[in-house]
Amino acid sequence: MGDHAVELLKVLFPYLSRVTVDGVVRVGASVRIAARCVAATARCPGCGTVSVRVHSRYGRRLADTAVGGQETAIDLEVRRFFCDSTDCAKKTFAEQVDQLSFRYGRRTVSLQHLLRHVALALGGQAGKRLAERLATPVSGPTLLRLIRSMDLPEVPELTVLGVDEFAFRRGRRFGTILIDMNSHRPVDVLPDHTADTFANWLRRHPHIGTICRDRGGAFAEGAERGQPGIPQIADRWHLLHNLATGLEKAVTRHRSCLKAPEPEATPGPASTSAGESAYERKIRERHHNVQTLFLQGSPSTRSAHGSGSTAKRYGATRGLPPPSR
Ligand SMILES: [Zn+2]
């Protein structure tokens, strides 16, 4: 093999530098790499003792990331070593190759890593379809197991807790989501959105100093019951949401104060004023159409313009008189 070919293998398969490759064959549409472990010693995973005494050898097949779009597997011969420490519960142990294999794993470390990211991004079924395209076939349930087997991230001590409703199924079933307001990351999801459930959770987390929540209701009650006297503040989103709702109501209430439009010099949708943009022209035309249909008493006012809200926005409802023209 030329120097460049050796270099290529080292660059493309860094994790094979710790084993000896005995052969590469194509089986059907897939690539099989035969390799064996050659390190002189292995470290017992139980007690850390280094052993040189080989007990036995056996083969493992590790699915790997695709090579050139082809499904790839490594047939790896590994050894079982004796643990010579008298204090260790393990009499023998299997060696693992750093960056390549892990205990009970049927994939290489890099494929495990890749599939876990696929699972996190897409979940089971969509992840399975992408994995097939990547020539690393895997079942949907296996992808979900990869997510569940991940270590949960360390949750730093919570000081300010955000609480809000969380829809398991939109409009149907709600739970509660709890957020660390310092990191803006979710820390827990509760199965319902009752005051009791939230209060119980708070009692188990007494170090929280402040609650950030919506403006009243079950979470206010739950916070007071779980940690009486805890400072509670309204979060920005709910304040802005309430403000927007209030503003909309006020504007609607004063709609009759709005001046009726000036009669147009040349009536009809085709008329344009100087400087009118395409968007403004479109609005004017739509207004004209809605009004025309409404004045004709057309039952299709709703369907002709997509939605009732469009007609309503232009005042074409039974409750409001059409603007004088
Ligand atoms: Zn040991």
- Percentage of the chain exceeding pLDDT 70: 87
* Residue 43 CA, ligand 1 centroid: distance in Å: 8
- Encode pLDDT of 33-84 as tens digits: 999 998 899 999 999 999 999 999 999 999 999 998 999 999 999 999 999 9
Task: List CB contacts of 204: < 8 A, sequence separation 6 or more.
Answer: none
- Give CA–CA dist 54/184, Å, rounded: 52
Cα–Cα nearest to 113, from 100, 126, 96:
100
- Encode pLDDT of 146-162 as tens digits: 999 998 777 778 899 99
- Give CA–CA dist 295/308, Å, rounded: 16
* Confidence (pLDDT) at 273: 58
CA 158 to mean position of chain CA atoms = 23
Give ∠ CA 76-81-86 in degrees, rounded to 5. 160
* Residue 82 CA, ligand 1 centroid: distance in Å: 8
Locate 195 and state its tokens: 């005051």
* Confidence (pLDDT) at 306: 47
* Residue 75 CA, ligand 1 centroid: distance in Å: 26
Asked if residue 167 lies in contact with residue 223, where contact means CB atoms within 8 angstroms, the answer is: no
Q: Give the torsion sign (CA, 277, 279, 281, 287).
A: negative
What residues sit around ligand 1, an ion, with C-beta below 5 angstroms? Answer: 44, 46-47, 83, 85, 88, 90
Q: Per-residue pLDDT averaged across 288-302, rounded?
A: 76
* Residue 36 CA, ligand 1 centroid: distance in Å: 23
Produce one character per residue of 197-217: b if its CB has 16 or more CB atoms within 10 Å, e if not: bbbebbeeeeebeebbbbeee
* Confidence (pLDDT) at 265: 65
* Residue 107 CA, ligand 1 centroid: distance in Å: 25
